[in-house]
Structure 1
């Protein structure tokens, strides 16, 4: 038998006889006495060696917090693993509830990290392919829901939310004009400058007009715009829908009899489909202005000569190629941003992860889609 002098310190008085250890716990088993709690439990575990059963009397425990309950439950697990049955008796109702709550949190075995092998590499590749397939199926499913909701809106125009569409057009198109025009202007300047420096070696710097015109109107204009919209508006869509999912606002819409696809996603996707071609047009014009300015400064090509050669070089099909791509890229960005927003769980970490995933996936798919369009237009000689 042992006794402590301080009345509030945790104590464990135990006695073993007949293959059974009887322990009477008292004092405050709280975090303030964590070191003493561990000391008493270690002595109790040592005293229980060789016994077949341990009976812990908790009736004299004055205070018990999560740490104390966890230590007691851990001791029960440890002694149980050694073949010693442990029972708690005399616990107060509030202590009994705390012990039960702690008992639900089992001790999970530590997973050993596998060494990187060829099998692990193939397993990771397989998981990535499965995830990509799952994302593709989810995208097709959401696209079907969007088309269905759009048809319902067209059949019943009173269901259409024009203020929401107008607000999204302002956020996507109007407020996105300055940054998109600035970046496109700078890219046009860079392309023209590098083109002039390379073509001057062959005395063909005038062909920089062909280079800038075709490259900007067919590829760079729509590609730059789509990437910037994916990073700016796509991430905003995911964050907005994801935060609504976290606060259960989407569930509230369903309870109110409203379709979240129709209320939240259709206006955003429509605004993207309308706004991205407009931004693409402005981006192309800004890039051509930048290219013409640099051609004038570095290549001695005056604006009238630049415009005349551009008119002779660029056909209507070259201008239309970029605009044809824009709505499809907008649809891809909207669908991916919506999927990632709906997939957000109830934590800030999940929201950040899905916003990042939305931007990365959208930019990747925009570039892939641009490649498919390039192959298609080359095949039909357009």
Structure 2
């Protein structure tokens, strides 16, 4: 049975009795505030005390600078926790001016990009070392894992890459024909289709598609394995995650990107040729003959040289971000998004570098 909390004054000491809890508090705080001349508080008569009761006693004792006595061990612990929690709330920081805030965000983003680039270079070095270790110990090479990645990266992607390339070829042919018709040069649409698909768009669009499809899958798979501690378990039993997980994915991306890029270019040329046949009345035989005349073999070499580099970048970026997952499942989504953005950004930067390089050496 709960007893209302009461107190009596005895020679400057407040002696409490009953239950010092919210349900039995009543007007105790008001009566306590009206009491003066108190030198000590005795709580030995309290049968039960809760957080509200401890707060009322602490507030009165702290305001008047008096000691609290007679509490049990649990009650003393509760009072100590209330005392620790009685701290002034820090005011919110003064907001920075807009200019300084923008500069700070730019600086933070630059520092993050620098750290990511350094980490990516370190991961690239670790991947090279893993390749070297497998060359020295070929028995540790996992052929079945590479073949499985072939199916995931290449075979399963043929449909979507073919559809995308076919539509891109149609768009290039249609837009080129519309613009060239103003000068009576519709026949040069064939030049546009052949050169831009074999040299640039075929490989570039394939790399973007592979980054969004396979690069994100690599990051999500390794990130999930990191969360479930499978990667730590592999290290415990003496299996290198770099050799078992990263190298097969990197090999699959490097070997299949040239094939996918060439396949994409061919499908884009077929799409462009179909539109030229329908819209410009250029028969397929003429289209093919014209392609052979105007497209130099160096355009094919340019695409085949760029493709494996793009594949390596996509695989390394995806695996790197997956291996960075820590803490919770939200990190998997964050790192997967970062892998796709990072891979596409690096592919476009490298494509610009290759464009300047091949122009410099005369492959134009």
TM beyond 0.5: yes
Instruction: Give the deviation of 1:175 after TM superposition.
Output: 0.5
- Once residues 356 and 294 of structure 1 are traced to their aligned partners in structure 2, the CA distance between those partners, rounded to angstroms, is 36
Give the drift of 1:280: 0.9
1:26 touches 1:58 (CA, 8 Å); kept in 2? no
Conserved 8 A contact 1:58-1:90: no
Between structure 1 and structure 2, the one with the greater Rg is 2
User: What is the rounded CA distance, in whole Å, between the counterparts of 1:194 and 1:352 in structure 2?
Assistant: 38
Q: Answer yes or no: is 1:216 the counterpart of 2:216.
A: no
What's the secondary structure of 1:344's corresponding residue? coil
Distance 1:168 1:57, change over 3 A: farther
Q: Structure 1 residues 205, 149: CA separation in 2 closer, same or farther (over 3 Å shift)? A: same
Q: CA deviation at 1:46?
A: 6.2
Taking the TM superposition and a 5 Å limit, the aligned residue runs for 1:92-131 are 92=74, 109=90, 111-112=92-93, 114-131=95-112
1:281 and 2:262 equivalent? yes
Deviations 1:2-59 (A, max 9, x none): xxxx749xx7656678888776784888xxx8xx99x999879968999898787897
Q: Say yes or no: does 1:172 pair with 2:153.
A: yes
What is the CA distance between 1:141 and its match in structure 2?
A: 0.6
The answer on 1:132 being equivalent to 2:113 is yes
Q: 1:255 to 1:376 in 2, by over 3 A?
A: same
SS of 1:347's equivalent in the other structure is: coil
Change (3 A) 1:42 1:218: farther
Equivalent position of 1:149 in the other structure? 130
8 Å contact kept, 1:54–1:86:
yes
Measure, in 1, the Cα distance between the counterparts of 2:27 and 2:318: 56
Task: Output the CA distance in 2 between the equivalents of 1:23 and 1:84.
Answer: 18
Cα displacement (A) at 1:273: 0.9
CA–CA separation in structure 1 for the residues paired with 2:325 and 2:156 = 27
1:231 equivalent among 171, 187, 212: 212
Q: Secondary structure at the match of 1:175?
A: helix
Give the 3 Å change call, closer, same or farther, for CA 82–131 of structure 1 in structure 2.
farther
How far apart, CA to CA, are the structure 1 residues paired with 2:45 and 2:305?
76
State the Cα RMSD in Å: 4.0
Match in the other structure for 1:242: 223
Q: Structure 1: where are the runs of 5+ without partners?
A: 1-5
| Residue 255 of structure 1, CA deviation | 1.4
Shift of the alpha carbon at 1:328? 1.1
Pick one of 72, 85, 93 that aligns with 1:90: 72
What is the TM-score normalised by the length of structure 2? 0.84
Q: What is the aligned partner in structure 2 of residue 313 from structure 1?
A: 294
Conserved? CA contact 2:127–2:242, under 8 Å: yes
Distance of 2:246 and 2:45 partners within structure 1: 57
Report the TM-score when normalising by structure 1. 0.80
Match of residue 340 from structure 1: 321
Q: Give the equivalent residue in structure 2 for 1:3.
A: none
Q: Deviations over 1:86-126 (max 9, x none)?
A: 97942549x969x97xx79x997464362442222222222
Comparing 187-196 with 273-282, greater Cα deviation is found at 273-282
Provide the aligned length of Structure 1 versus Structure 2.
361
Matched with 2:348 is: 367
Q: Could you tell me how far apart the structure 2 residues matched to 1:232 and 1:205 are?
A: 36
How much has 1:200 moved relative to structure 2?
A: 0.8
Q: Distance in 2 between matches of 1:45 and 1:242?
A: 59
Contact 2:7 2:15 in 1 (8 A): yes
Change (3 A) 1:305 1:248: same
Distance 1:253 1:309, change over 3 A: same
